[in-house]
Amino acid sequence: DRNDRVRRFFDKYVFMKNVYQEKLPTIITDAKYVFAYKDKIFTFKDNELKAYNQYGKEQYSLNIELTNPIFESNDSYICLAEKNGQKVYVISGRNIVWQQDVKGNIAKVAINKNGMVAVAILGTEDKSVVAVFDKNGEEIFSRHIAEDYVIDIALSEDSQFLAIAKVNYSGIDVKSVIETLTIKDAKQGNSVINEYKSDLGELIIQIKYNQKNNLICMYDKSITVIKDNYIESKVDFTKENLLFADLNNKIITVAKNDNNVLDGNIELRFLDTNSDNIVTYEVEEPKELLVFENMVALNLGADAIFINNNGWMVKEYHSMQEINEIILSNEIAGIVYKDKIVIISL
């Protein structure tokens, strides 16, 4: 609509949010693993984790003994773990706070802003185990799951709740179940486990707690929210022409708007799960959607656009070269190519 066009005009010509590859700081590296965290870019190669500032200058490095790292971050903490291995590290600032080896093969990790860590483990006597550690690396408790595979895990930001998304493949139709439990009670060995079952054949993909401890659940056909033990439907994939969907502090979708074919028919949508308010932003059809907390990135091929959760464009990146990958935090983004990372301050 007219307001969108006015906003894009101001973004481009008044606020000068367009940035160009040749004018931006660059890190020369062929590291396979790269991450964004706060205002820094990290590279990982040969057991060395290197941190670079927004100008591409190396700040420090840490020795981390991993070969195939999983990376998660939240507030002051970074969690690194060995995919299909045993090692877990937690980093704060320039220091390794703790390191632990677990029994089994790590599938997923989650960390909240208090430094609490949940680790989903496969390959033990049970189908799955979820172990929870405090900020000092002490195991608080573990949840053993005999018959189901853990797909995702989530911790509430206030460290009250753990949620486990699990799947059972034994029948004709896949069965997806969400478990939630209170961490304080689980620590004392007497937790009540609440279970929420989806329709048969619906596959759980991702879960995330919002700021009010409501659990957002993304399936292959829908997105729901568990609120006060009640399941609310938020997005039905069968009724919308969705290209992408993901979760940060909101539900983020990219959809073809069939009612607006003549004037740009692709919408980026931000759905607030507390108020049900929807903010939209008209975009080109992206090749990829990436999200982090309050920031969204759209890979447009050689270009990229960065939009915050309020629906305002932060930066628009232009280049002549196809983008390999985008890494993202609230404060910084890295445009990854074969032998370099271009840095964008957000």
pLDDT one digit per residue (tens) for the chain, 346 residues: 566 667 667 776 656 799 999 999 999 999 999 999 999 999 999 999 999 999 999 999 999 999 999 999 999 999 999 999 999 999 999 999 999 999 999 999 999 999 999 999 998 888 899 999 999 999 999 999 988 999 999 999 999 999 999 999 888 889 999 999 999 999 888 778 899 999 888 999 999 999 999 999 999 999 999 999 999 999 999 998 999 999 998 999 999 976 655 555 899 999 999 999 999 998 999 999 999 999 999 999 999 999 999 999 999 999 999 999 999 999 999 999 999 999 999 9
- In DSSP terms, 175 is beta-bridged to 168
User: What integer pLDDT is reported at residue 172 of this predicted model?
Assistant: 85
Integer Cα distance of 107 and 83 in angstroms: 6
Beta-carbon count within 10 A of 130 CB: 24
**pLDDT value, residue 14:** 59
Positive or negative torsion for Cα 306, 288, 254, 330: negative
Structure tokens at 205: 């993909």
pLDDT of residue 210: 94
Question: What pLDDT is stored for residue 264 in this prediction?
Answer: 54
- Nearest-CA neighbor of 191 among 254, 241, 144, 261? 144
Q: Token pair of 322, please? A: 């196809």
SS3 8: helix
Q: CA separation (Å) from 41 to 17, 35, 36, 225, 335?
A: 21, 6, 5, 33, 10
